[in-house]
Amino acid sequence: MLRSIAFIGLIALLQSCWAETPESYLLKTHSPPSDLNFMPTLGNGHVGYTVFGDAIFMNGVYNGAGGNSKRARIPNWMNISTEACDRFGCATGSDVVNGTSYEMDLRDGCFRVLTTYRSLGISVEQRTYPHKFYNRALVYEVVANRLANRNSRINSPKYLRLTQFAGNSSDAFDFVVVNNGSSSSGDYRTLRGRTKVVENEKFQPDPQEIFVLFSESLEQPLELQWPTWQDQLSHRVILTIDRDESVARKELQDVLQLSSRNLLQNHTQAWNSFWDNEFSIEIKGDALELSQIVNAGIFYIVSSLPSLKSNQKNEPFFGLSPTGLGRGDLESDYQGHNFWDTEIWMLPVVTLFGLDYAKELLGYRSRKLEAAKYHANATGYKGARFPWESAYTGAEVTNPCCPEVAEQEIHISPDISFALQRFFAQSNDSEWTCETAWPITAEVADFLVSRATCDDSSSTCHLLNVMGPDEDHPNVNDNVYTNAVAKIALNFAEWLAKHCGNASTERTEKWRVVSDGLVILHDEGLNYHPEYEGYVRNTIIKQADAILLGYPLNFDTSSAHINDLRFYANVTRESGPAMTWSMFAANYIRNYQLTLANEYFERGYRSYVRPEFKVWSETPMGYDGSANFLTGIGGFLQALIFGYGGVDFGRTGDDQFLMILGVSLTPPNVEEVFINSIPYGKAKCTLRFKSRSSEIGCYDRIGKGFQMAQGPKRTILGRSFNLTRRNEDPPIEISLLR
């Protein structure tokens, strides 16, 4: 009877992670990718790792000076493998029934490996996950079941052998054992690690320190005896990591008080709550693969974001790098640094997950404002100049390979201001904006004024010796994207000065002069925007640049922009990053060119997503590039939501900050798309769109309600509404009543 009860409990434990998961959330394969960089990357905003990889990384922990700074690698002590053995030896591949199954459950946040051994008559499940609530904890569990069989070998005593494959010693930390742990004393093996090299002595006088606690040591393989009378055998290994030893210790103590079932259930409930209450996209039609790619993309981004609810208070968040928290010690991982990728490519999607997630990302820029001001001064300018790459200190950490990038890609500073404007349009949070966004936008505006070269006789201003998003062309003048986003940043700073009541007339007048004078190149004869002064048509470029004046900047949507799409589509190199094609798609949709939109939308993901676990690469298959490329995911999801879905947030010419609902279409083989949560101010909205219409509904339980504008018509909507828009109707503009 006891064995039966234990078995029932085990089945319940297994079901909680995988049995009822919808197919669109379950990724399975019998053949892992040949390049293990494309295994799933798991995380919870505090720690992260790639399955079967040799590294764990912790939020904000870097090692190395200047451009040599990179995420500090912690050996992956959670990379554990279990063998099933008996007195005749351990099972081999020939014993496996139907192959080993490798499964990523996106809905529950678990990765598992399931193997059935014919000769031993057992099945073994191995499961690993970084806990979403107990976010200092990493969990490995193994559960083995006996199968009904009378074979004599099957009935013989067995044992499980657990072996750790943590990789080489860390080159980033000096680890020392501060407590060996003792089962008799109930204490835990504890390591203290100190990084070897500080990033920037001005902003980081001392190395960083972390503590790693183990539920048990696996320095040597662990053998778990399995008596013949026992139907199932389970075991778990847990480690916790934090800067504060007492925090890591409490986390381990709290986790070990829970049964395996309750610990897993707590984790899966946190993930289920995200999908059910915070954000998800449901796709109807013959589009299972697309649904899986969408869900995987959301999962991989969220895995690098801090948990909004955790057992202990979170540390400050140090940003969302192109390949996420679980990667970062390789140059192809961009060393875990922060770029414009955060604000332009990922933040618009992250904000849909919840405004608090966006504040975590933007809060990093706020905390590093002093470093940006120092960087501006050190390079001969005023205000705040955010570095092209930043990490722990906020100082410039661009790789020494590429000094021209650090010197010339100044657009990252106005990119941040643009992101703050967009966030204000969606959040309508004046208090946060005046306290946090205003200081950034004002200092960025001062930097742009000091960086611009103006000619009083012609009332024109120029940004000289710059590099735009197209990094194939350095040292150019008046890159059209850079100048356009700079104009937006200057205009928003001026508006925000009035809104927050914080700037002198003399200061804002300088901003206005430069904004009005900045040159936006336009070829009158061909009616398009040359990417930079002297650009020769048909010159090959790296990635989306001038076309971004449409979406996301909403700076120019005239016929010139349509020509930009046509001209630059033919000269963008095939090896360009994934988000380039997604931006072509989003902009073609807004211009009612569905055939081209569909072509570029599919081009933006099909050759970039590895099939097994829907992990993205920065470049198409056949080219070298980053794995777990969140930047590409961000562009792809923007194309789906803000392109096909037709929804957007922005500022109009008359200084209104609105939610806008325009033309909606659907990708190939998709009948309908439903987004379960879009935050707007303190309201929660849903969006459903089809190929010729869309429906939006919002409920504002705290505010004063909404106003709708459609053409000349203005309508007060109250605190909740449902609206349907057909594609032949004028766009709907929705504002929050104050």
Cβ-contact 467, 479 below 8 angstroms: yes
Looking at residue 98, what is its pLDDT?
74
Q: What is the rounded CA–CA span in Å between residue 552 and residue 247?
A: 42
pLDDT tens for residues 645-677?
999 999 887 778 999 999 999 999 999 999 999
- What is the CATH code for 27-283? 2.70.98.50
CA distance 561 to 586: 13
Q: ∠ CA 208-195-327 to the nearest 5 degrees? A: 95
Could you report the per-residue pLDDT of 167-197, keeping only the tens digit for each?
999 999 999 999 988 655 568 999 999 999 9
Candidates 73, 93, 81; CA nearest to 165 is: 81
Determine the 3-state secondary structure of 413 from DSSP. helix
Q: What's residue 706's pLDDT?
A: 92
Structurally, what CATH architecture does the domain formed by 338-538 represent? Alpha/alpha barrel (1.50)
pLDDT score at 157:
67
Q: Which of helix, strand or coil describes residue 24? A: helix
Low-confidence ranges of the chain (pLDDT < 50): 1-16, 18, 150, 152
The angle at the Cα of 132, spanning 130 to 136, to the nearest 5 degrees, equals 60
Maximum CA pair distance of the chain? 97
CA–CA gap between residue 269 and residue 267 (Å, rounded)? 5
Give the CA distances from residue 82 to residues 113, 137, 162, in Å, rounded to whole numbers and listed in that order.
10, 20, 4
pLDDT in tens, 95-136: 787 779 999 999 999 999 999 987 778 899 999 999 999 999
Three-state DSSP state, 279: coil
